[in-house]
């Protein structure tokens, strides 16, 4: 059974701090890694994807991938109250369906 594990939270950070969200996956053959943001009552929205080991930056977001440790993380710099949401990690291999974690709830306190 392929699994993606995330801490459910809530993760509370003060406004302006760095939020660090973590995810581990069980299938060592996984090739593509995604982070989705989901606001309460809304559908998931893709914010980052990463394929190679290392860091990928997009604005205030940085995705980090370590395939040897089967670990992917999302850093949010200068966190804002509008970043408060549930963040879903997802992985896949080739043209297979994404396997989602259950999500980490982030709360940014003003």
Partner 1 sequence: DVKVTQSSRYLVKRTGEKVFLECVQDMDHENMFWYRQDPGLGLRLIYFSYDVKMKEKGDIPEGYSVSREKKERFSLILESASTNQTSMYLCASSPVGGRYGYTFGSGTRLTVV
Binding site for partner 1 (CB under 8 A): 31-32, 34, 36, 42-46, 49, 51, 88, 90, 92-98, 100-103
Plot region of 14 (φ>0 → left; ψ -120 to 50 → alpha; else → beta): beta
Question: Measured from the CB of residue 88, what is the shortest distance to partner 1 in angstroms?
Answer: 7
Please, which residue, 17 or 56, has the CB nearer to partner 1? Answer: 56
Give the separation between CA 89 and CA 66, rounded to whole angstroms. Answer: 14
Question: Measured from the CB of residue 77, what is the shortest distance to partner 1 in angstroms?
Answer: 22
Please, which residue, 47 or 108, has the CB nearer to partner 1? Answer: 47
Question: Measured from the CB of residue 90, what is the shortest distance to partner 1 in angstroms?
Answer: 7
Please, which residue, 91 or 108, has the CB nearer to partner 1? Answer: 91
Question: Measured from the CB of residue 110, what is the shortest distance to partner 1 in angstroms?
Answer: 26
Please, which residue, 33 or 64, has the CB nearer to partner 1? Answer: 33
């Amino acid at each position: 059974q392929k699994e993606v594990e995330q801490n459910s939270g809530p993760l509370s950070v003060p406004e302006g701090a760095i939020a660090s969200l973590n995810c581990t996956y069980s299938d060592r053959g996984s090739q593509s890694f995604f982070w989705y943001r989901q606001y309460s009552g809304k559908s998931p929205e893709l914010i980052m994807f990463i394929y190679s080991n290392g860091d990928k930056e997009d604005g205030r977001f940085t995705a980090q991938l370590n395939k040897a440790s089967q670990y992917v993380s999302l850093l949010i710099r200068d966190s804002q109250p509008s970043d408060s949401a549930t963040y879903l990690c997802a992985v896949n291999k080739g043209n297979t369906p994404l396997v989602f974690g259950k999500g980490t709830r982030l709360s940014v306190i003003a």
